[in-house]
Structure 1
């Protein structure tokens, strides 16, 4: 008997009819009305008030209410020219990965609105909710959380520019119920002594690896919240998300409506580590400017150049990005796997592993950790790395530094860290 374990697909493939049913089953139906299948532009419900507004947020609200195509960047929010005869509206937003040249994502409003409907059902989003976001609208996670909240008529709490203790105070004061956040931001938010915030129902964490230390701290700070760690990118939107059945090391099973396949070097399905390909209704249309050699289309399937595998139950394990994979003594090594091990061992979330040229082995790995080493010595840590990871994957040095260069999205700036490493090691 042939068993296909190479594809992870949601149990109920999502089409427009099913999305409509999802939405109508959600708690938000009474407040925001029925989901219209022909809707092509974002909506900003009258009940969706902004609790900490700025010029960019005010501009975004005006353009959404005008049903315009929209461009969002670090410099602000502006309308996009559109063809009046075409009903589809578009969104342009910037992404730079982990330190590469900035690119501008182009996606139809409807590609996000379909996941608004899914999340409306799963999270029970309604006008009674308060959705909190961290960072500026130039970060796609913040932009998504804001537009989803506006679509469902929820209050929107922006916490950019506040200290963690004041962010927690604002969450408690406004009785926030939904939180969109990165692992680094969540670690900072829950890192100090604070009173529990009991109103929080769901915490959606994306943009990096979530450590057990941060998950435990979040459970202490938000005792009534369900923690959902999701995997995706600006190009793909949601790909997978976790629940209580997700095994350690996995980012979860396919998000509703998504099909994940794993392909080897020749494009055929593989049971081992291969390139992650995604088919879903949430994909972007392409780059409005810039490009990425990692991003490739094959019909209606998209790869952003990340490698991983699926287990027998459809859980996705991400090994790392193909462009970051290096060869050490003729063996393929993923720096991300070393980062995950160090983060778990040290109880931190800000780790960067950089490959440097090595005349004998091709490359050697050097690790940088933000903060002091309080649990072990560098020598003992290197010994542990060699024991657990093997001599090829183990870093040759571990540097503990006060802070690492970070991108606005809360991820390490690998280009800046590499330049520093090349000049100081």
Structure 2
């Protein structure tokens, strides 16, 4: 088929973007173009074993004695991480698992999870990253749907596996009480100790991995990635100054997109990655200070809890080494954006993307000062477009539309066979948004969160952001619920700050003073805490079902 002028332009644009991405990778230190032998080796290994295994191998070749991972059990160097990954891969293959088989991992952030990720790539196994917030029925349904052939899990999640067939192999990635290991279930430590440390023969094709969507409105969908373009890493390092051979504290769960991607980039730059099995606000500050960490990866609710400690507690810890706070997973309100930078300086980077499109926009500190809450601009190789309800592209600023993106990490379709809408090569993110007059992207809410109340379109996120700035509000969420008169009405769920005397009338008056009347919540409910999943996102279906009585 002859090439049209549009296709020629598209190919030229892609070639230029790829060249720019390679330059970005060199500038950031992910690759070294002055050592083409290393670049070729990395590319060849990536095609065989996938990026997560390859980047640990690369760091082990170049900086074998550099610290790779810190958890509650101590420090692993890149050499140790590499050798133990090989041993675990060999042990998994020896237990009858074959390249291409799916294994599930249900683990918090620690060496057991990282070793499983790396070993799966070396063995050619497809890894399903399970959510630590699963209930038993959810976990069982996802495991069946993804055709999981073995589960590697932390001891604390043993009960979740009771709904699975008894003969499904189980391996422990972490034990809280070594002398009483659960009924003789093998541990990965035992497997590693019993296996050879040579690199397994390369599989016919990389196993890849499956990252699950958040599942805040239903059963999480599986988004597989069999392979990734070598330039995918450029989307992260283009607008975020990752440290090189420094220290990165990842508080976000690694089983989800943000933690997984930032851990991968941190390893590519031979950083020491500090992990935490459970988040605690003051412990995070103490850990940042103790390790002189240059980068923190977190979700907004974590930062909100850190700021809630107050200035006196924050002042106890020396965070002068901190250069980057990378935040993603849910919306950062303008009010939270300002408070973070007031407390920690111009270090905030707001990432926007999804499990399906990876990262498609990043706001840098100066942009967040100019337009608090913005998600910024697309990084190299990424493009963002807005489309109206008739699939026509929106070019004007300040006009809301559906957000679509095209990136270097193409979506392969969900594991249940469904996919996302695509227009002119751009994939739907599922969000509504607009560009401001500076060309910065703003997310206005999920397209399926919009409600029609009395004939008016309302986006709950707009009301949420307003309530977040109301004195006396510690946390807030707004959802739409059925209404006999108006079709839908807004429900505001508030977590009051300690000592606050805020009541429902004050909440409604505040919204009425700033927004149109139809955006005032009819219901205002006060809770001690909002229901959130392991990635910090509000579980909205729980709020929609609250019993007002």
TM-score under structure 1 normalisation?
0.85
The SS at the match of 1:254 is: coil
Q: CA deviation at 1:247?
A: 2.2
Asked if 1:413 is matched to 2:539, the reply is yes
Counterpart-to-counterpart distance in 1, 2:324 and 2:484: 50
Q: Is the 8 A contact 1:406 1:413 kept in 2?
A: yes
**Residue 321 (structure 1) aligns with:** 446
Q: Report matched runs for 1:43-192 at 5 Å.
A: 43-44=55-56, 45-46=59-60, 47=66, 49-52=68-71, 53-64=110-121, 69-74=126-131, 84-86=203-205, 90-111=208-229, 114-120=231-237, 122-125=239-242, 127-192=244-309
Q: Relative to structure 2, which stretch is displaced further, 349-358 or 27-36? A: 27-36
Match among 19, 23, 29 for residue 17 of structure 1: 19
Q: CA deviation at 1:283?
A: 3.5
Counterpart-to-counterpart distance in 1, 2:252 and 2:27: 31
Counterpart-to-counterpart distance in 2, 1:365 and 1:124: 40
Name structure 1 gaps, 5 residues minimum: 1-10
**Residue 397 (structure 1) aligns with:** 523
**Residue 358 (structure 1) aligns with:** 483
Q: Is the 8 A contact 1:16 1:37 kept in 2?
A: no
**Residue 386 (structure 2) aligns with:** 262
Q: Is the 8 A contact 1:382 1:397 kept in 2?
A: no
Provide Cα deviations, 1:299-354, integer angstroms capped at 9, x if missing partner: 53200322222234422122221211111111111111111111122475632212
Q: CA deviation at 1:409?
A: 0.8
Q: Is the 8 A contact 1:132 1:158 kept in 2?
A: yes
> Against the structure 1 CA distance between its residues 67 and 176, is the aligned structure 2 distance closer, same or farther, given a 3 Å change threshold?
farther
Provide Cα deviations, 1:249-306, integer angstroms capped at 9, x if missing partner: 53212222222111112111234222111122134222123757xx312353200322
> Against the structure 1 CA distance between its residues 134 and 346, is the aligned structure 2 distance closer, same or farther, given a 3 Å change threshold?
same
Q: Is the 8 A contact 1:27 1:125 kept in 2?
A: no
The SS at the match of 1:305 is: strand
**Residue 6 (structure 1) aligns with:** none
Provide Cα deviations, 1:206-264, integer angstroms capped at 9, x if missing partner: 122223554455346534x6211121111111121213135245321222222211111
**Residue 8 (structure 1) aligns with:** none
Identify, as 1 or 2, the structure richer in helix: 2
Asked if 1:239 is matched to 2:363, the reply is no
Q: Is the 8 A contact 1:355 1:363 kept in 2?
A: yes
Name structure 2 gaps, 5 residues minimum: 1-12, 61-65, 72-109, 133-150, 154-201
Q: Which has the higher contact order (CA 8 A, sep 6+)?
A: 1
> Against the structure 1 CA distance between its residues 217 and 248, is the aligned structure 2 distance closer, same or farther, given a 3 Å change threshold?
closer
Counterpart-to-counterpart distance in 1, 2:360 and 2:239: 15
Provide Cα deviations, 1:106-140, integer angstroms capped at 9, x if missing partner: 124425x5342343454444542211112433222
The SS at the match of 2:265 is: helix
Q: Is the 8 A contact 1:104 1:290 kept in 2?
A: no
Match among 408, 414, 424 for residue 281 of structure 1: 408
Paired residues, number: 404
> Against the structure 1 CA distance between its residues 400 and 13, is the aligned structure 2 distance closer, same or farther, given a 3 Å change threshold?
farther
Counterpart-to-counterpart distance in 2, 1:257 and 1:127: 22
Q: Is the 8 A contact 2:362 2:378 kept in 1?
A: yes
Q: CA deviation at 1:160?
A: 2.9
What's the Cα RMSD here? 3.0
Asked if 1:252 is matched to 2:376, the reply is yes
